[in-house]
């Protein structure tokens, strides 16, 4: 498996087979984005949006092909995020998760994110759980 800079084609490919319903439209502003692929198949895409020099929002979406590799992918992504935080001097990485999508909640927690709060109406008329990843946790 490899991480690489994501392309628009990667985003389009994952949007066709998304398991999270999350990539219906592409994030409007992405500062950095990656694709995780295996043997030429895009398993998922993700990215960050910087809010301050030490704080960023994270997002990700899985393609159906990722289900066969999820345990390995989770470990790789967790290590990748830790390295990214160290490399960029990031002190806080946040993710908004739909509480009605249990697989997303499990994924955020498996990646090491900790539940911080509930944000009412974050997704329009639906709440979101704010998850946070801090260095060293």
Print pLDDT tens along the chain (137 aa).
Answer: 898 999 888 988 888 888 876 555 555 667 889 999 999 999 999 989 999 999 999 988 889 899 899 899 999 999 999 998 998 889 999 999 999 989 889 999 999 999 999 999 988 899 999 999 998 77
Is residue 51 helix, strand or coil? Answer: strand
Where in the chain are the domains? Answer: 2-133
Contact 2, 49 (CB under 8 A): no
Q: Look up the CATH number of domain 2-133.
A: 3.40.630.30
Identify the residue whose tokens are 């960023």.
56
């Amino acid at each position: 498996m490899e991480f690489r800079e994501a392309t628009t084609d990667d985003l389009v490919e994952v949007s066709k087979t998304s398991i999270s319903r999350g990539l219906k439209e592409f994030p409007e502003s992405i500062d950095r984005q990656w694709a995780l692929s295996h043997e030429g198949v895009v398993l998922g895409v993700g990215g960050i949006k910087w809010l301050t020099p030490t704080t960023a929002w994270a997002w990700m979406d899985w393609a159906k092909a990722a289900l066969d590799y999820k345990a390995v992918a989770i470990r790789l992504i967790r290590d990748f995020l830790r390295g990214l935080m160290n490399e960029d001097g990031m002190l806080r990485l946040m993710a908004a998760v739909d509480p009605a999508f249990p697989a997303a909640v499990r994924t955020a927690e498996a990646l090491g994110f900790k539940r911080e709060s509930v944000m009412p109406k974050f997704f329009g008329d639906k709440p979101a759980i704010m998850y946070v990843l801090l260095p060293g946790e």
